[in-house]
Structure 1
Amino acid sequence: MSYEIDWVKSRSDLFPEKCAVIDSVTQDSWTYKELNERASRLAGLFLAQGVEKGDRIALFSENHISYFDFLFACLKIGAVFVPLNWRLSTDELQFVVSDAAPVIMGVQSCFIKQASGLQEDFYLIEVDSNTYLDQFPAVDRLRRPLLQESDPLAMIYTGGTTGHPKGAVLSHRSIMWNAINTIVSWNLTDSDTTMTCIPMFHTGGLNALSVPVLIAGGTVVLSPGFEPEQAVKDLIKYKCSIVLFVPTMYHMLTRTKEFKSAKFPDMKVFLSGGAPCPMGIYDVFSSKGLAFKEGYGLTEAGPNNFYIDPREALQRRGSVGKPMLFNAVKVVKKTGDEADPGEVGELYLRGSHLFEYYWNKEEETKEVWRDGWFQTGDLAMMDEAGYYYIVGRKKDMIITGGENVYPLEIENWLECHDAVEEVAVIGIPDDKWGEKVVAFITAGSPGLTEEVLVNYCKKKLAKYKIPKNFYFIDELPKTHVGKINKNELRKSLDKVT
């Protein structure tokens, strides 16, 4: 079925004067009418430059109103929005740009020098301020192609730690159904306000809450980066009712004096995503009487897939909840059979919110689909009551002496130790055990020793799960989106062995 897809215009027509977006730095704000007008003006420029349906249009910027300008302009004319990770090295960025081959690139002024070194031919739009669009003429009527739900709208490159990133193609259907599922399952309304600090080149920054909140008619506060002290102030100032941070952000946030004294009177719930959350974070929010829960997703799927009531999250710590209304979930064992409650297997997902394919990677696309189900590569377990728990990445599972070890179980226990700040557990090759368990620790107080941690582990963990070695380091390496980079930890051991 072909039709025009433009919920931005519809929202503008229905509630033109409702505040849609706020810039937390400049204090500029835009109504839904203004948001639609900006997207239409930019779409007119794209068409004047000869952009056709399916052409890629990239953006190289920190969190900024231009993300919505570019995404919604692409939505109007059938182009494909490609947000670029500004934290990539020059070589990594060159690969992504060469792979996507954008015909137009928006570049924030601070990245002009970096973008000018790219060996690609594209029309450059400098994003020098919130008024960068004023130089272009307004348009009364756009030439709009007929679109299919399955036509691509965005292409987000996965943040893998090995090999080249893959462009996950999200269709109009993918993004719309993720938003609808989120709005209905999480009870988002036009009274909700969120703050987006997670980089919007990441699916969590763009699609977890920003787009769903706008479709619901709420307000998105944009922050170009994450400063924990300022984040506390902004959450209160803008009366945010829901927010998503990754665990590393919560680790920083909860240690500030601003957080410790804050009340957050308008906040319905704090969400954690991007990686499993340490159990200690639950304790901090519980002690302040603040609602807190975890979610689960990935670039190829949503990223929203589960719902759990914050009260249930307190009782079932570590659970991401039950499947949302419009998606299906199952856990599959190595045999191909569906796992029983309490058994660990690979998490499979199905629903209209899933990505369409990997750009220019037909074989890789085939590998992750099975009979209409997307194979996530994550290990999960469902309990007797139907609540799901993410156990870890399939590739991170450790087999030592024939026993399966899931690093997350060990990490959660070690992070409960008062003297441990952060921890990462990996498996490394071992002649005797096949693999041996080792842990990297950042200590929150002096005097923490391997002996202390071994004795602590004995209280909770089976002997084969206790790390054979503990490595104390100043800081754990992180990926571009704040996840602990275990591949870098393995490389660091290779250098010393």
Structure 2
Amino acid sequence: MVKSFVEVHRKFKYDGISYNTKQLRTKALDLIKQGHDFEKKTGQFLIDWLNKEDYIIAETSGSTGNPKRIKLQKSAMVNSAITTGLFFNLKSGDKALNCLSSDYIAGKMMLVRAIVLGLEIDCVLPHSKMMFETDKSYDFCAMVPIQVAGSIKEIENIKTIIVGGSKIVPFLLEWIKNCPTKFYETYGMTETVTHVALKPLQSLTQKGEEFFKALPTINFSQDKRNCLIIDAPNLIDAPLVTNDVIELKSNKEFKWLGRFDNVINSGGIKLFPEQIEQRLLTIIKKRIIVCSEPDDKFGEKVILIIETPNIIPKDFLAKIEASNLLYKYEIPKKIYSIDQFVLTSNGKVQRQKTINLALG
């Protein structure tokens, strides 16, 4: 049986100060009344967390569709916090840094982990260039890739960082290899109460791995489309069928290939745009989307959309062909440019809306 979700661990600290349940409610109200915008959001979440309801309302990111509001059971969030604590051996009194908005599940769960596990959490403004005490050591932090990239010289005193929310570009993976911090790429979503699988990234202190590994009590399988099915009884009521095409190694490990709805069928060959994008990002230092247009001969043809105001398509195409990064059938047949990709409120690319805008 999980702990009561209104119980605040006796070793919990928020910005260096200890709080019991009653004191934390008072602190939350103070944040709402007097705090900065990000602190008001934190205060509102704490009020929601400490009320008598057994659920909270969370909003999905909207990166793969329209954002939606869903109910999350607080008991599932407690279970998720405990599972993460076991995986990373987090102990009461360990220090955590929260640099994510409490509007979304990743930021909410940083607070829940601290409350449930008894962590000492410091909360800072969610921004690509974070401002925090760089001479202070932290045991645990969750970031999005743009925050890692914007703070690469300041985060070496953080022992473990989990990274998610968007793709990790190749140059960042190369930098991580020379950092003493342990990094883990996450796989999860709001519906699964943040991550259900983690993948170690190569750094100075650990080897990188190709497959995501399940957290304790979680199992994986596939449907007929080769899409991932998540069985997480402590987090969700029934197995969750996703649209993520995977290579399944075991019921505990998988490799992510791409989204089923993004797969391109060109002349009978199935292409995963996300895999092509990851290779192209080693030579194109801008946001890109690989997708398709109808083609009379092959059914679909690969195209490339680049976030830049001015391009000479033939120059980019020549660069791609000279790189030998792609097979012949993966090379874009047409290149479009767009001034700015369409983003969600938390900075994720809205893929289909961007494609629609680019193709007009």
1:174 matched to 2:76: yes
- SS across alignment from 2:289: strand
Name the stretch that deviates more: 167-176 or 324-333: 324-333
Match of 2:32 in 1: none
Match of 1:5 in 2: 4
Mapping 1:263-302, distance limit 5 Å: 264=156, 266-302=157-193
Match of 1:64 in 2: 39
1:439 matched to 2:341: no
Q: CA offset at residue 242 of structure 1?
A: 2.2
Mapping 1:73-472, distance limit 5 Å: 73-79=47-53, 151=54, 153-161=55-63, 164-207=66-109, 209-228=110-129, 231=130, 233-234=131-132, 236-254=134-152, 259=153, 262=154, 264=156, 266-310=157-201, 315-316=207-208, 319=211, 321-334=212-225, 345-355=226-236, 372-383=238-249, 387-417=253-283, 419-442=284-307, 449-456=315-322, 459-472=324-337
Name the structure with the higher strand share.
2
CA distance in 2, matches of 1:431, 1:194: 55
Give structure 2 stretches of 5+ with no counterpart.
30-35
Code of the aligned partner of 2:14: V
Code of the aligned partner of 2:126: G
Report percent identity of matched pairs: 19
CA distance in 2, matches of 1:252, 1:298: 24
Name the structure with the higher helix share.
1
- SS across alignment from 2:270: strand
**Residues matched between the structures, number:** 352
- What does the per-residue CA deviation read over 1:245-287, in whole Å, with 9 as the maximum and x for residues that have no partner? 2223334444xxxx2xx472x3212221012322321111112
Match of 1:47 in 2: none
CA distance in 1, matches of 2:27, 2:38: 20
CA distance in 2, matches of 1:42, 1:218: 17
Give structure 1 stretches of 5+ with no counterpart.
23-28, 44-60, 80-150, 335-344, 357-371
CA distance in 2, matches of 1:283, 1:169: 38
- What does the per-residue CA deviation read over 1:59-81, in whole Å, with 9 as the maximum and x for residues that have no partner? xx8421662x44444444423xx
Larger radius of gyration: 1
Match of 1:32 in 2: 19
TM-score, normalization by structure 1: 0.62
- What does the per-residue CA deviation read over 1:461-494, in whole Å, with 9 as the maximum and x for residues that have no partner? 2222222222344544322222222123212233
CA distance in 1, matches of 2:199, 2:155: 23
Match of 1:100 in 2: none
Match of 2:33 in 1: none
Code of the aligned partner of 1:167: R
TM-score, normalization by structure 2: 0.84
CA distance in 1, matches of 2:234, 2:348: 23
- What does the per-residue CA deviation read over 1:268-310, in whole Å, with 9 as the maximum and x for residues that have no partner? 1222101232232111111234322201110101212123445
1:21 matched to 2:14: yes
